[in-house]
């Protein structure tokens, strides 16, 4: 590593499914000479793109796990995180954005800003990631970059500024006009590796001049010097425009827009130039950690390589040589032989091999210094863990992890699969915090939980392929919840005073629904005058809390309950922690039955994009599934239907949607809200639960 931190770029490439992220990453690697041949995502040569290292990804043509890759361009070191585009894997996208300094938002010049782009954009906003937009697929029929720029402004609210205009479009797409240099750029050679610069074609000159003025106009907002130069009509040096645009981009006030076609090898090199010019280097971005010794007070980190180490493990992978931990160093230098402490576990580790990743190949290096991304071998940790130098007690801000909404029972086919399955589950839960697993004590089934049907499907497939674990799956189950709808009193006495040491405890108070705030359980002690001795209060709380895990109504987790105790009684000899816990359980059951419990189900926000002629059919499908259609948005050839549909009704929707629309529609789905289940459905669920209990017994 001979470059300074100013010349480092940690970028992500994120976008809608099939916008061509992986193809673009592949081209970048080719032009930066990290690979020597280009393979297409669904290539005929059967090799597959380099970034899609997992076998399964190659087969499905989608990117599952973000592979971190390193490359060099014009004295700059660029670390690229290739992020998955499907919404079921958003935890991967979010995790990547956390460690990135900048991003390239890839948009399809035909599809424009699609629903997934909006989700990704929201995530970028959440983590304040500055970005460039790349309008890809300009060679496709129907390509219209100007429309996409308009959508960037209207739909995403970006101040999109075009830095280039296309020379020809669709099949006639030849190259681009660089509005900064005011030159035409063409890409020759079999792989577009030869960049030929010429004068702008006469017919585009006026347009180019107009667009350049617009660009400079937008840039003047960020540089007084530039503003003066424009007003005085002095010649404007490129460096001044670049500096102004960069300032705007870093503040997320400008989104420079570049165009091209990765598949046709056009416009990729200028994109790399723009990455080095406009996206931030690690020291441009302020990162904060939380100080655990001072009540989680935020601490600003500096990219000084001589300070104590602070690093974040953001991704784990199981390689042939053991666990590979992708890590971003925020402060200090993580060198071979250094001692680091995992803040979560407090465990000390000595750093063994340090490598730099290039998809699934790697290169050994001596150290990773602040601002860089690399990988470590043989470190035992979970993803999201923070590593620091001994003596420090910092943790990187916790990442937003959504609760799983769907679960599935899995059964290994034989003994060998059983062993492999537990190995695989162990690995997956470490890699992905949204993927969870547990054992159902009543049915003795292994349950996996995740963010969607496809999410779980992919893991089941990976178990088979990577671990040789043959498993059968049960029917997916929705994560229902129970809650109460009104206040109810309880007054319960737990008494067992017949022989042996007795048990006595009485608890009185009330339960009520929590209407505001995120808490699922609140315990309030309003006991006056020592009716319940203080030492038993924690036991009462524990007793109530334990009841929340499984509701008395249908055994779903209970949420949104505030427990207030205001009276009780104890016995000098027979009261104990145990007795009060038991009394709390009894009191909860008593109050709960009177508090009108109901079942809530997860409602998903479903957005279907389909050609206009199928929109009637699509709405019919959604309507059949208890969906409430919020609206239909006409986008010319495409219509976007937005609906809220219960997750329970969405199983197998992708297949049904494909067959109803000749495969031309696609949909995205994300968790929206928990809502009460209608009475008839609640009865059905009760029957299912009863049946399941019976079969387990």
d(CA 24, CA 36): 15
Nearer residue to another protein within complex by CB, 217 or 613: 613
Nearer residue to another protein within complex by CB, 107 or 275: 107
Out of 46, 500, 631, 663, name the contact with another protein by CB under 8 A. Answer: 631
Shortest spacing between CB 560 and another protein, in angstroms: 10
Q: Identify which range of 199-207, 321-329, 492-500, 624-632 contacts another protein by CB under 8 A.
A: 624-632
Q: Which residues of 667-697 are buried (b: 16+ CB within 10 A; e: fewer)?
A: bbbbbeebeebeeebbeebeeebeebeeeee
Shortest spacing between CB 138 and another protein, in angstroms: 22
Q: Identify which range of 182-190, 200-208, 401-409, 632-640 contacts another protein by CB under 8 A.
A: 632-640
Over the window 556 to 595, marking each residue x when it contacts another protein by CB under 8 A and - when it does not, the resulting string is ----------------------------------------
- Contact between 522 and another protein by CB under 8 A: the answer reads no
Shortest spacing between CB 371 and another protein, in angstroms: 37
Nearer residue to another protein within complex by CB, 533 or 678: 678
Q: How many amino acids of this chain bind another protein (CB under 8 A)? A: 22
Out of 640, 660, 681, 685, name the contact with another protein by CB under 8 A. Answer: 640
Nearer residue to another protein within complex by CB, 155 or 253: 155
- Contact between 616 and another protein by CB under 8 A: the answer reads yes
Name the residue with tokens 């505030």: 562
- Contact between 142 and another protein by CB under 8 A: the answer reads no
3-state secondary structure of 17: coil
Name the residue with tokens 């809200």: 673
- Contact between 520 and another protein by CB under 8 A: the answer reads no
Q: Identify which range of 11-19, 131-139, 409-417, 636-644 contacts another protein by CB under 8 A.
A: 636-644
Shortest spacing between CB 674 and another protein, in angstroms: 12
- Contact between 391 and another protein by CB under 8 A: the answer reads no
> What is the per-residue DSSP string for 214-236?
HHHHHHHTT-HHHHHHHHTTPPP
Name the residue with tokens 């809502």: 675
Q: Under a CB-based contact definition with an 8 Å cutoff, are residues 275 and 73 in contact?
A: yes
Q: Under a CB-based contact definition with an 8 Å cutoff, are residues 109 and 144 in contact?
A: yes
CA 500 → CA 141, 496, 497, 574, distances in Å? 85, 9, 8, 10
Report which secondary-structure segment, H or E, holds 525: strand 521-525
Out of 630, 686, 690, 696, name the contact with another protein by CB under 8 A. Answer: 630
Out of 4, 426, 485, 684, name the contact with another protein by CB under 8 A. Answer: 485
- Looking at 612-665, which runs of residues are DSSP E strands? 628-635, 638-646
CA 21 → CA 280, 310, 609, distances in Å? 20, 31, 20
Q: Identify which range of 235-243, 402-410, 441-449, 635-643 contacts another protein by CB under 8 A.
A: 635-643
d(CA 95, CA 223): 34
- Contact between 634 and another protein by CB under 8 A: the answer reads yes
Token code pair at residue 670: 């994300």
Shortest spacing between CB 83 and another protein, in angstroms: 24
3-state secondary structure of 77: strand
Nearer residue to another protein within complex by CB, 515 or 659: 515
Cβ neighbourhood burial of 353 (10 Å; 0-12, 13-18, 19+): middle
Cβ neighbourhood burial of 304 (10 Å; 0-12, 13-18, 19+): middle
Over the window 263 to 302, marking each residue x when it contacts another protein by CB under 8 A and - when it does not, the resulting string is ----------------------------------------
Q: Under a CB-based contact definition with an 8 Å cutoff, are residues 27 and 269 in contact?
A: no
Q: Identify which range of 218-226, 250-258, 629-637, 682-690 contacts another protein by CB under 8 A.
A: 629-637
Cβ within 8 Å of residue 470, ≥6 positions away: 412, 413, 414, 417, 464
Nearer residue to another protein within complex by CB, 473 or 679: 679
- Contact between 517 and another protein by CB under 8 A: the answer reads no
Nearer residue to another protein within complex by CB, 150 or 168: 150
Out of 629, 660, 685, 689, name the contact with another protein by CB under 8 A. Answer: 629
Q: Under a CB-based contact definition with an 8 Å cutoff, are residues 594 and 489 in contact?
A: yes
- Contact between 656 and another protein by CB under 8 A: the answer reads no
Shortest spacing between CB 150 and another protein, in angstroms: 11
CB atoms within 10 A of CB 620: 12
Out of 339, 578, 628, 696, name the contact with another protein by CB under 8 A. Answer: 628
Out of 191, 426, 623, 662, name the contact with another protein by CB under 8 A. Answer: 623
- Contact between 635 and another protein by CB under 8 A: the answer reads yes
- Stretch 430-469 residues interacting with another protein (CB under 8 A): none
Q: Identify which range of 92-100, 185-193, 381-389, 612-620 contacts another protein by CB under 8 A.
A: 612-620
Edge-to-edge order in the sheet of strand 503-513: 488-496, 503-513, 561-569, 521-525
Shortest spacing between CB 654 and another protein, in angstroms: 21
- Stretch 663-682 residues interacting with another protein (CB under 8 A): 675
- Contact between 632 and another protein by CB under 8 A: the answer reads yes
> What is the per-residue DSSP string for 435-467?
-EEEE-TTT--EEEEESSHHHHHHHHHHHHHHH
Residue of 397, 466, 386, 475 lying closest to 425 (CA atoms): 466
Shortest spacing between CB 356 and another protein, in angstroms: 42
Q: Under a CB-based contact definition with an 8 Å cutoff, are residues 140 and 107 in contact?
A: no
Cβ within 8 Å of residue 211, ≥6 positions away: 162, 165, 179
Shortest spacing between CB 531 and another protein, in angstroms: 31
Report which secondary-structure segment, H or E, holds 153: helix 145-154
Token code pair at residue 524: 């309030």
CA 484 → CA 299, 681, 686, distances in Å? 41, 18, 16
- Stretch 33-62 residues interacting with another protein (CB under 8 A): none
Nearer residue to another protein within complex by CB, 514 or 569: 514
- Contact between 515 and another protein by CB under 8 A: the answer reads yes
Nearer residue to another protein within complex by CB, 197 or 628: 628
In sequence order, what are the beta bridge partners of 511? 488, 563
- Stretch 152-191 residues interacting with another protein (CB under 8 A): 155
Q: Under a CB-based contact definition with an 8 Å cutoff, are residues 518 and 554 in contact?
A: no
Shortest spacing between CB 630 and another protein, in angstroms: 6
Q: Under a CB-based contact definition with an 8 Å cutoff, are residues 283 and 371 in contact?
A: yes
Out of 233, 500, 516, 655, name the contact with another protein by CB under 8 A. Answer: 516
DSSP conformational letter for 558: B
Shortest spacing between CB 615 and another protein, in angstroms: 7
Q: Identify which range of 9-17, 58-66, 308-316, 508-516 contacts another protein by CB under 8 A.
A: 508-516
DSSP conformational letter for 6: G
d(CA 356, CA 70): 7
Nearer residue to another protein within complex by CB, 632 or 656: 632
CB atoms within 10 A of CB 251: 12
Residues forming the site for another protein (CB under 8 A): 155, 485, 513, 515-516, 615-616, 619-620, 623, 628-636, 640, 642, 675
């Amino acid at each position: 590593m001979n470059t300074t931190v100013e010349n480092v770029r940690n970028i992500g490439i994120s976008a809608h499914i099939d916008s061509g992220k992986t193809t673009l990453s592949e081209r970048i690697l080719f032009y930066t000479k990290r690979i020597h041949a280009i393979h297409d995502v669904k290539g005929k040569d059967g090799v597959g793109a380099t970034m899609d290292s997992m076998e399964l990804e190659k087969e499905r043509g989608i990117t599952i796990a973000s592979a971190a890759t390193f490359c060099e361009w014009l004295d700059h070191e660029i670390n690229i995180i290739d992020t998955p585009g499907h919404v079921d894997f958003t935890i991967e996208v979010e995790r990547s954005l956390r460690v990135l300094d900048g991003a390239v938002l890839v948009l399809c010049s035909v599809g424009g800003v699609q629903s997934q782009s909006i989700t990704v954009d929201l995530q970028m906003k959440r983590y304040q990631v500055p970005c460039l937009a790349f309008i890809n697929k300009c060679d496709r029929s129907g390509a219209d970059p100007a429309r996409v720029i308009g959508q960037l402004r209207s739909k995403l609210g970006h101040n999109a500024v075009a830095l280039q205009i296309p020379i020809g479009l669709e099949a006639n797409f030849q190259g681009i006009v660089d509005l900064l240099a005011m030159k035409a750029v063409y890409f020759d050679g079999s792989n577009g590796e030869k960049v030929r610069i010429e004068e702008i074609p006469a017919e585009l000159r006026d347009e180019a001049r107009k667009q350049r003025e617009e660009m400079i106009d937008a840039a003047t907002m960020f540089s007084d010097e530039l503003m003066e130069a424009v007003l005085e009509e002095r010649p404007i040096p490129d460096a001044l425009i670049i500096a102004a645009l960069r300032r705007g981009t870093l503040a997320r006030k400008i989104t420079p827009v570049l165009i091209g076609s990765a598949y046709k090898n056009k416009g990729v090199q200028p994109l790399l130039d723009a990455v080095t010019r406009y996206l931030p280097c690690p020291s441009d971005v302020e990162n904060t950690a939380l100080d655990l010794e001072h009540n989680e007070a935020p601490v600003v980190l500096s990219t000084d390589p001589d300070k104590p180490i602070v690093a974040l493990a953001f991704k784990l992978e199981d390689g042939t040589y053991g666990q590979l931990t992708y890590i971003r160093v925020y402060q200090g230098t993580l060198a071979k032989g250094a001692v680091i402490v995992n803040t979560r576990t407090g465990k000390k580790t000595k750093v063994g091999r340090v490598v730099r990743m290039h998809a699934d190949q790697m290169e050994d290096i001596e150290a990773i210094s602040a601002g860089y991304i690399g990988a470590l071998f043989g470190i035992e940790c979970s993803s999201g863990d923070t590593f620091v130098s001994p003596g420090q007690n910092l943790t990187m801000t916790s990442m937003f992890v959504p609760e799983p909404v769907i679960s599935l029972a899995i059964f290994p086919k034989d003994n060998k699969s059983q062993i492999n399955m537990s190995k695989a589950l162990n690995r997956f839960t470490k890699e992905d915090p949204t993927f969870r697993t547990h054992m159902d004590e009543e049915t003795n089934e292994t349950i996996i939980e995740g963010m969607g049907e496809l999410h779980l499907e992919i893991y089941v497939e990976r178990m088979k392929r990577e671990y040789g674990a043959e498993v059968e799956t049960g029917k997916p189950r929705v994560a229902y919840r129970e809650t109460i709808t009104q206040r109810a009193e309880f007054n319960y006495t737990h008494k067992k005073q017949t022989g042996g040491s007795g048990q006595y405890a009485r608890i009185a108070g009330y339960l009520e629904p929590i209407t505001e705030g995120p808490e699922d359980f609140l315990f309030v002690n309003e006991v006056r005058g020592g009716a319940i001795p203080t030492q038993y209060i924690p036991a009462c709380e524990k007793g109530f809390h334990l009841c929340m895990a499984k509701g008395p109504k249908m055994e779903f987790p209970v949420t949104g309950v505030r427990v207030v105790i205001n009276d009780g009684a104890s016995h000098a000899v027979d009261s104990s922690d145990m007795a009060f816990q038991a009394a709390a359980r009894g009191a909860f059951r008593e109050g709960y039955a009177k508090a009108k419990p109901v079942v809530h189900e997860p409602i998903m926000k479903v957005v279907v994009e389909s050609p206009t002629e199928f929109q009637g059919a699509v709405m019919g499908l959604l309507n059949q599934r208890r969906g409430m259609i919020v609206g239909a948005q006409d986008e010319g050839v495409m219509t976007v239907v937005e609906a809220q549909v219960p997750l329970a009704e969405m199983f197998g929707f992708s297949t049904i949607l494909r067959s109803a629309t000749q495969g031309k529609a696609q949909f995205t789905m994300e968790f929206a809200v928990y809502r009460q289940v209608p009475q008839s459905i609640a009865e059905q669920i009760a029957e299912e639960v009863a049946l399941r209990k019976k079969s387990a017994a």
